[in-house]
Structure 1
Amino acid sequence: MFNFAVSRESLLSGFQWFFFIFCNTVVVPPTLLSAFQLPQSSLLTLTQYAFLATALACFAQAFCGHRRAIMEGPGGLWWGTILTITLGEASRGTPINDIATSLAVGIALSGVLTMLIGFSGLGHRLARLFTPSVMVLFMLMLGAQLTTIFFKGMLGLPFGIADPNFKIQLPPFALSVAVMCLVLGMIIFLPQRFARYGLLVGTITGWLLWYFCFPSSHSLSGELHWQWFPLGSG
């Protein structure tokens, strides 16, 4: 039924794609944890949900979907929207629980609306509104928003209400910039057969350097509690 051609290049590319999806998934829960000022025990629940949902989406896409190189996992659009709304409302004094509940309801309504558009066949009509110029502007704004989030994380800046006692973490930032330059250098200067694995090399190198340069004795432990709305339910 399925005809998969397995080769060394496909195995390495698949392994790199796995790392790409893994990194995109694992970085979201800690960011939301910081933005919503949640307890450390909630990180387990959010991470479990993120990995399970991503795994189901990957299986559905591989066996029943288009099988194209489209990354499954938490969407950058939702991620940027949630963080932007959270930071904006928190600066206005809105309670975190109210923000989380509103976001949960809004995401649920968006899912229902998306299904209605798909079932009614209105998708191709709405697609006419998204011209190339609109999509270019959207991707530019999304990239700028996500770049800001990444740099704040690299510098150790808080995502929520700023703590007057926080300090900019220059050593981790320098390591992040070094890994980024390594990946860009591989993509720009190396042949295509090596440049295609720049993300994989950068991920493994960055993790190893972080492990040896910034060892940590802290470990996250706790009991996993399944919740329908881990970001807020009331």
Structure 2
Amino acid sequence: MFPVINRESVLSGFQWFFFIFCNTVVVPPTLLSAFHLPADNLLMLTQYAFLTTALACLVQAFCGHRRAIMEGPTGLWWGAILTITLGEASRGTPLNDIASSLSVGIAISAMVTIFIGISGLGHRLARLFTPAVMVFFMLLLGAQLTSIFFKGMLGLPFGIADTSARIKLAPFGLAVAVMCFILAMIIFLQQRISRYALLVGTVVGWGLWRLCFPSSHLPPGELSWRWFPLGSHGTLM
């Protein structure tokens, strides 16, 4: 049975689309900065991220759980990859070795997850994750993601600390202004309007950014598709 389509469902669905969009679009630039990849790879990585996220959404909508669970790059893996990369790079570990180790770890985690799903051990392992454990885990995850977002607002690189990096006050001021605007909508407006605060804030923030910080840089005209966009055989692109 298909859901009823009305104005509220359309706006809610559009806002949910923006949630997934914002959750996906921020990942490729951080990986590009963390692993010092060429700037030309940004467009390709972003398109790969959007395509895989779209496929995941279609699969869960037609064949999966059909619940309001955000699809796309997970914040847990995102934070773990950036934290491990920054920590190991500060110790002098080559980025190629870090990337290879992360690839092996992610592949092993995928196989373990598939085994847990097939064997039915999920409900037994869930007993270990008590409310106290989940609160502590979410606190650490929130702190890690907050630091990542805050560095992005300040215009600081995500990779190895760069002594030449400087705080960009103008983008930071715009980000704080948009955040205050969203909070004001949630606090002072009626619920039927405030429920779309994040959608309005995203559109307004994007428009102000394009108005205040116009970019003259254009992406490359040609796009090369590869099975392994980040590299292969232990070597980053």
Normalised by the size of structure 1, how large is the TM-score? 0.96
* Cross-structure match for 2:184: 185
Within the alignment, does 1:104 sit opposite 2:119 as a pair?
no
Counterpart residue number, 2:38 = 39
Tell me what 1:213 maps to.
Answer: 212
Q: CA deviation at 1:15?
A: 0.6
Structure 1 contact 46–230 (Cα < 8 Å) conserved = yes
Partner of 1:159: 158
User: Which residue pairs with 2:9 in the alignment?
Assistant: 10
- Following the alignment from structure 1 to structure 2, what is the Cα–Cα distance between the partners of residues 123 and 164? 46
The structural deviation recorded for 1:174 is 0.5
Aligned equivalent of 1:25: 24
Q: Report how far residue 46 of structure 1 moved.
A: 1.3
| 1:60 equivalent in structure 2 | 59
Q: Secondary structure of 2:216's partner?
A: coil
The aligned amino acid for 2:83 is: T
> Is residue 36–residue 160 contact of structure 1 (8 Å, CA) maintained in 2?
yes
The DSSP-based 3-state class of the residue aligned with 1:229 is: coil
Secondary structure, counterpart of 2:224 in structure 1: coil
Task: Supply the AA of the counterpart residue of 1:153.
Answer: G
Are 1:40 and 1:220, in contact at CA under 8 Å, matched by a contact in 2? no
Aligned partner letter, 1:149: I
User: Whole-Å Cα distance in 1 between the matches of residues 110 and 184 of structure 2?
Assistant: 40
Q: For the structure 1 residues 214 and 231, does the alpha-carbon distance in structure 2 shift closer, same or farther, using more than 3 Å as the test? A: same
Q: Do the aligned residues in 2 keep the contact of 1:155 with 1:170 (CA within 8 Å)?
A: yes
CA distance in 1, matches of 2:121, 2:205: 45
Judge which range, 29-38 or 222-231, deviates more.
222-231
Name the CA distance, whole Å, in 2 between partners of 1:123 and 1:196: 34
CA distance in 2, matches of 1:46, 1:162: 23
Q: Between Structure 1 and Structure 2, how many residues are aligned?
A: 233
Using the aligned pairs only, state the percent identity.
Answer: 76
State the superposition RMSD in angstroms. 1.2
Contact 1:101 1:232 in 2 (8 A): no
Unpaired runs of 5+ residues, structure 2, are: none
Query: What secondary structure, in the 3-state scheme, does the structure 2 residue paired with 1:10 have?
Result: helix
Cross-structure match for 1:195 = 194
Which residue does 2:119 correspond to in 1? 120
For 1:222 and 1:91, the matched residues in 2 are separated by: 36
Q: CA deviation at 1:222?
A: 5.0
* Distance apart, 1:106 and its partner CA: 1.1
Q: CA deviation at 1:124?
A: 0.8
Contact 1:187 1:198 in 2 (8 A): yes
Shift of 1:6: 0.2
